[in-house]
A and B are shown apart, each in its own frame.
Chain A
Amino acid sequence: NAGVTQTPKFQVLKTGQSMTLQCAQDMNHEYMSWYRQDPGMGLRLIHYSVGAGITDQGEVPNGYNVSRSTTEDFPLRLLSAAPSQTSVYFCASISGRGYGFETQYFGPGTRLLVL
């Protein structure tokens, strides 16, 4: 198992550019989430998915789109990058969801710098 993978690891964008952050998991997990981490802010939820074809907004969804066409993939799209979107982005998937042994697996993260 590769676990949760994210690409790219690092990206520099200019204001107004668009891009897609890729997230994939090979553990057949239904539940997946996208978070952003800013210094001193902890992690904040952007979007999440409870299965293929089903997504919903989190705390900070503006400027981001998601889709979930397959169980494995959960890409995050930045529509028109802004400097405020400079952050580290983490994707996560969940095993054993709802049970006492539930575990969240986080990807390695994508560091995004918007100039």
Chain B
Amino acid sequence: ELKVEQNPLFLSMQEGKNYTIYCNYSTTSDRLYWYRQDPGKSLESLFVLLSNGAVKQEGRLMASLDTKARLSTLHITAAVHDLSATYFCAGGTQGGSEKLVFGKGTKLTVNP
């Protein structure tokens, strides 16, 4: 049974700083997803990582996947206030994202 753990669960950082959110998963997962959720809103897809060593970047966010370590990271570069949100990682086991196991989320607050 796939289990997904994120850390930290809460992250407060200053604008301009860099930080990394970690996502560990317990068994083989054939894909890893990252999502963003603003307070009271729905989820927005950020990245899908399909293979070992995959790296994807969008603006100040970069996600990577190490299947051997069962670890994905979401790296934030030079944080800005607009990045404040809750970030979720999720693992899939059936070749697609219809059956995902989510982590508990990391609530990121970027302070001026």
Q: In the bound complex, what is the Cα–Cα distance between A33 and B35 (angstroms)?
A: 16
Residues of chain B at the chain A interface (Cβ within 8 Å): 33, 35, 41-45, 48, 50, 88, 90, 95-105
Q: Bound state CA distance, A102 and B103, in angstroms?
A: 20
Beyond the given pairs A92-B97, A102-B97, 6 more chain A to chain B contacts, judged by CB atoms under 8 angstroms and listed by A's residue number, are A40-B104, A45-B101, A56-B99, A58-B99, A102-B96, A104-B35
Assembled-state Cα–Cα distance A73/B59 (Å):
35
CA distance A31 to B99 in the complex (A): 10
How many A-B residue pairs have C-beta atoms within 8 angstroms? Tell me. Answer: 65
Which residue of B has the minimal Cβ distance to A33?
Answer: B98
Q: A42-B88, A42-B102, A43-B102 are in contact. Are A100 and B43 (CB under 8 A)?
A: no
A72-115 CB mask vs B (1 if < 8 Å, else 0) is: 00000000000000000010101001101111111111000000
The residue from B41, B42, B105 contacting A42, defined by CB atoms under 8 A apart: B105
If A42-B102, A58-B99 touch, whether A106 touches B42 (CB-CB below 8 Å) is yes
User: Is A2 an interface residue when CB atoms closer than 8 A count as contact?
Assistant: no
| A contact residues around B42 at 8 Å (CB) | 90, 106-109
Q: Tell which of A43, A49, A101 has the most Cβ of chain B within 10 Å.
A: A43
Alpha-carbon distance A107/B43, docked complex (angstroms): 8
Can you list 22 residue pairs at the A/B interface with Cβ under 8 Å? A33-B98, A33-B100, A35-B102, A42-B88, A42-B105, A43-B43, A43-B100, A44-B102, A49-B98, A58-B99, A90-B42, A92-B43, A94-B96, A97-B96, A97-B97, A98-B96, A100-B48, A106-B43, A106-B44, A107-B42, A108-B41, A109-B42
Distance from B56 Cβ to chain A, minimum over Cβ atoms (Å): 9
